Each structure stands twice: as structure tokens, then as C-alpha cells.
Amino acid sequence: MRPSLVLAFASQVVAAGIQLPLVLPSASSPAVSSVGKPIVTSDALQADIDAKNLLERANHLYELAKLSNPDYSHPTRVIGSKGHVATIDYIYSTIASLGDYYTITNQTFNAVVGNVFEFRLELGGGGNVPKSASAMSLTPPTKNKGPVFGPLVLVDNDGCDQTDYASNVVGSIAFIRRGTCTFGQKSALAGKAGAVAAVIYNNGQGSLSGTLGEPSPDHVATFGLSREDSEPYIEELRAGKTVAAKAYIDSIVENIKTVNIVAQTNGGDAENCVMLGAHSDSVAEGPGINDDGSGSLTLLEVATQLTKYSVNNCVRFGWWAGEEEGLLGSDYYVAMLSTEENGKIRLFMDYDMLASPNYANQVYDATNEANPTGSQELRDLYIDFYQSNDQNYTLIPFDGRSDYDAFIKHGIPGGGIAAGAEGVKTKEEAEMFGGKAGEWFDPCYHQLCDTVDNLNLAAWELNSKLVAHSVATFARSFDGFPERCTVESESHGVASYWHGPKLVM
Ligand SMILES: *[C@@H]1O[C@H](CO)[C@@H](O)[C@H](O)[C@H]1NC(C)=O
Ligand SMILES: *[C@@H]1O[C@H](CO)[C@@H](O)[C@H](O)[C@H]1NC(C)=O
Ligand SMILES: [Zn+2]
């Protein structure tokens, strides 16, 4: 799950004449498919879900996250790390071990990864370390990954033009106001002007953290700083005084290849697929066992249990990489679909964070008014599930924070559920679900403590049964589910907030 807005401040394609069996097999008299297995039912697939199996997989996933320790000093499954590569291998080998039930595809794509290991900014002769200083994401390190020294030099205007950088910027630490152009452009212009580092100070309230975006050889090590922390130095510089500064960033920026794994049943109508997805990666800060180990492992478990049955419609599982860098894997997957292939996906179900410790049963409020037709029928299937299990639920905004976004932007109905991320549980929600009001649904969201201990097993099991229910329902039949219609939607190609990494300007 991507951070919420608040925290981050930081041709008509018709599914070809759908062929439903004339007589749908019923649960009481299981029909036997050509491969000699009973047709899947919701009750049977739900009964196959056991928290013990899920927990075993979670323990294994944590061991895989630890493979990143030598490089990151802590467990993580961020893209490019050994922990993520091992996660991909684990998903692939688990599905491969199921024989010819599935066809597996690796979809490789390029991504940029960066990691800041350490940084320090000192301003003024006294070695003052401003509290709000942060290193920008995707910043290069300072020279030789060591400290650099220089006078702080105030850049003219917003530092978006090479002429804003006077000749005394050479060898200096460039001091640049936020605004007009991207952080990446400012950093590159400072680098071209000969600065040894750059500090971008906020033009509004609060601290400033963001990303330099697409790497450039001109970028220099770049910090963000609040306006409050900057003002005393701006005044000194305007008064003609010299401000000594010291900058240090140890970081890496790399171009890597990473992989989406897609597994599709060989059985079932390949023209009519139900698709579901979870993201295989975590943030760099921690092992991501809830976010989104929980969803990824539920998909693995459901895919494993499904092999006991036959299906009428194709079931396609996707494990996306690079979700935490800006929904990269799912964006790439959907962008690569031909119009014909797009039309075969009847709907997409997103399962990101299913076991939050202070959980709520959150259903994305995906309406047909605002989304491709069918999204609302899916939403209502989830609501029915919670209601028939005597569980409360809440509706939460379907606003593009996870991998469903590319699907709905390309005309594919979508939806999903989540157990909650960094939102604060209200008093009413504590009455509905238990847990603690005033605390995050997942107090370890995007942190080192997102370990096996961070999982609520009861919530995870219930939500995994919901996933089983959704898979079994559509694997049996799309009866009553809207046909696919147009592929291209108006918002096609329009980037939304959560695509791409972070604040860029
Ligand atoms: C796909 O990826 C898996 C997991 O990394 C790897 O074991 C397998 O060899 C790859 N297969 C192909 C055809 O590239
Ligand atoms: C559902 O919420 C109500 C309060 O709104 C609460 O009284 C009830 O116990 C909750 N049900 C469950 C199963 O937790
Ligand atoms: Zn996340």
C-alpha cells in the first residue's frame, strides 16, 4: 500500500460471446470436470484456508527478508534486494511445484532503485544540524561517500535556470528555494554549475522531503530543509555574511530489472478470466510481512488449494513488483496488454494488507458511476461476505493507492479489501472491530516492525476466506456479472498521485 496523501506530503471490446455451461453444477452434486476434479465451490475453497498454513508461509517469508541483512543491515524485501529476489523465487517455485495446473509467466521490467544509508547536514560555523534536514530520494552520494565542505550560496530566483547560478556556486553548497521546477532539475542545474551539494528549502510550511526522480549524471547530493530552519541562514547570506556548511550523504542509485509473476489456470474459459493481485515487494525500511506479505501469501495459498478443483473460467494470479516505488509492476503489466488481452480480464481484485494488527474490514467503495461497470458488483460481493459472516465492515475511498489503479484506468472493473494501513482507528471502529481507538490500523506500517508478530491471524484467515470466496465465485460463473465494454477510459495516460515515487516539485 502506498502512503496516504497526508503522510506523503511529504473500441469497444466485448468479451467474446461468453460461454456459460447450460447447467451450472451445484454444490450438492459436484460435477466432475474433464480432468476428473470437482468443480470449485466457495464453501470448499474457504474450508481449505487454514491460518496455520498462512503462518508457516509468513515465517518462511521473514527468513527470506533476512537475506537482505548484509546489504541493508535489516530484513527487507524492497525491489533489487536479495530478500525480494528470494520472494520472487519462492512464489515462482511454489506455483511451479503444482505441476501443469498453471502456466507461469515472468514479466521483467526496468526500475530505478535508490537507498540512502546515512546523511548529515551541518550549517554555520558552530556545526548546527538542522532538525528538518532530509536526504532526497534517489539522491547520489556526496563525493567518495564522504563529507564535502563549502560555503552555502544562495541561488537566484527558484534556481530553475542556469543563469540563476552565479559563478560563486562553483565548489559551494547551493541553497535553492522550492518551486517552479522539479527537485531533479534544481539538483542537475546545481551540479552543472559546479556545486558539491544542494539544499532545497521549503517555500511553505513544514519539512521538505521528495525525490530527484529519473537519475541524471548532473545530479549532486541533495537535501530538503524546512523554511523555518532555512530562514536564519537566508538572512545572514542576504546580509553579505559567509555561512560555512558541511554535507554528507551515503547512498546508492541503481537501474535494476525486477519481475512480475503471473500464473493462469490451464483449465477454464481463457477468454473470461478473473484476475487477482498482490505486491511481492516491501519498502526498504522493513520486511513487509503484512504489507504485502499477507496478500502475496494468501494468493499463494489460494492458488495452491485451488488445484484440488476444476474451474469454468480462467483464474489469473498476479504478484506485482515495485508497488512501493509507485505501482510500477501493475502499471507495466496493464500497459503491455493488447486490446484483445485486456478484454479477457473480466475484473481485477486487489489484495494489499490483509492482516493488520489493529484491523478493520475495509471494502473499497468502488462504484460503477466512477469506475468501470462491474466494480460495484464486486464491492457488493465483499459486503455480502462480511455480512453473511456476521462481521462489520467500513467503506474506504477507492482512490488509487494500490495496484488496482492501472486496471480501472484501462477499463477493467476492479475493487478489493484491506485491513488498514496508517489510518487512525476511530472510537466507532473500535466498537465495530475491537482493537485500539486512536492508533493506526497497522502501527508497523512501512517500518522495521512489520514482522510475523505484526499479523492478526484471525483477520488474516477471515480475509483469506474472502479471497477464496471471490475466486471460487467467479471461477464458477460470471452469471449476472456485467460484460466488459470499452477499454480506453478518459483518464487513460493521466498520471495520478500515487504513480511514480514521491513529491517531485
Ligand atoms: C522466472 O523466474 C523464476 C524466479 O526468479 C526463475 O526461477 C525462472 O527460471 C524464470 N523463468 C524464466 C523462463 O525466465
Ligand atoms: C458490530 O458493531 C457493533 C457496533 O456498531 C457492535 O455492537 C457489534 O458487536 C459488532 N459486531 C461484531 C461481530 O464485532
Ligand atoms: Zn506499502
Taking the centre of ligand 1 as the mean of its atom positions, its distance from the CA of residue 88, in whole angstroms, is 9
Taking the centre of ligand 1 as the mean of its atom positions, its distance from the CA of residue 80, in whole angstroms, is 16
Same domain as 63, residue 137:
no
Same domain as 433, residue 455:
yes
Low-confidence ranges of the chain (pLDDT < 70): 5-35, 486-502
Q: How far apart are the first and last CA of the chain?
A: 22
Query: pLDDT tens digit string along 63-104?
Result: 999 999 999 999 999 999 999 999 999 999 999 999 999 999
Could you list the residue range(s) of the whole structural domain that residue 181 is in? 125-242
Number of domains in the chain: 2
Q: Which residues of 15-34 are buried (b: 16+ CB within 10 A; e: fewer)?
A: beebeeeeeebeeeebeebe
The answer to whether position 119 is within a domain reads no
Active-site residue, from 285, 323, 325, 429 = 323
Same domain as 382, residue 331:
yes
How far apart are alpha carbons 272 and 480 in whole angstroms? 14
Same domain as 410, residue 268:
yes
The answer to whether position 350 is within a domain reads yes
The secondary element (H helix, E strand) that includes residue 404 is helix 404-409
Q: Domain boundary residue among 185, 218, 242?
A: 242
| pLDDT given at position 504 | 82
Same domain as 186, residue 104:
no
How far apart are alpha carbons 402 and 498 in whole angstroms? 8
Among protein residues, the one whose CA lies closest to atom 4 of ligand 2: 432
Same domain as 259, residue 210:
no
DSSP 294-322: IHHHHHHHHHHHHTTSB-SEEEEEEEES-
| pLDDT given at position 271 | 97
| pLDDT given at position 497 | 55
Same domain as 277, residue 230:
no
The answer to whether position 48 is within a domain reads yes
DSSP 418-467: E--SSPBPPHHHHHHH-S-TTSBSSTTTTSTT-SGGG--HHHHHHHHHHH
The secondary element (H helix, E strand) that includes residue 246 is strand 244-265
Same domain as 292, residue 206:
no
Residue 444 CA, chain-centre distance (Å), reads 16
Cβ proximity of 219 and 199 under 8 Å = no
The atom number, within ligand 2, closest to the CA of 431 reads 4
Q: Secondary structure of 406-421 in the HEC alphabet?
A: HHHHCCCCEEEEECCC
Q: Does the beta carbon of 92 lie inside 6 Å of ligand 1?
A: yes
Same domain as 280, residue 233:
no
Same domain as 93, residue 200:
no
The answer to whether position 60 is within a domain reads yes
Q: Domain boundary residue among 242, 276, 296?
A: 242
The answer to whether position 54 is within a domain reads yes
Same domain as 24, residue 138:
no
CATH of the domain at 216: 3.50.30.30
The answer to whether position 247 is within a domain reads no
| pLDDT given at position 496 | 53
CATH of the domain at 289: 3.40.630.10
Same domain as 472, residue 418:
yes
Taking the centre of ligand 1 as the mean of its atom positions, its distance from the CA of residue 134, in whole angstroms, is 38
Q: Domain boundary residue among 181, 213, 242?
A: 242
Cβ proximity of 109 and 320 under 8 Å = no
Q: Exposed, middle or buried: residue 179 (CB in 10 Å: 0-12, 13-18, 19+)?
A: middle
323 has catalytic annotation: yes
- Residues with CB under 5 Å of ion ligand 3 are 1, 291
The answer to whether position 120 is within a domain reads no
The answer to whether position 146 is within a domain reads yes
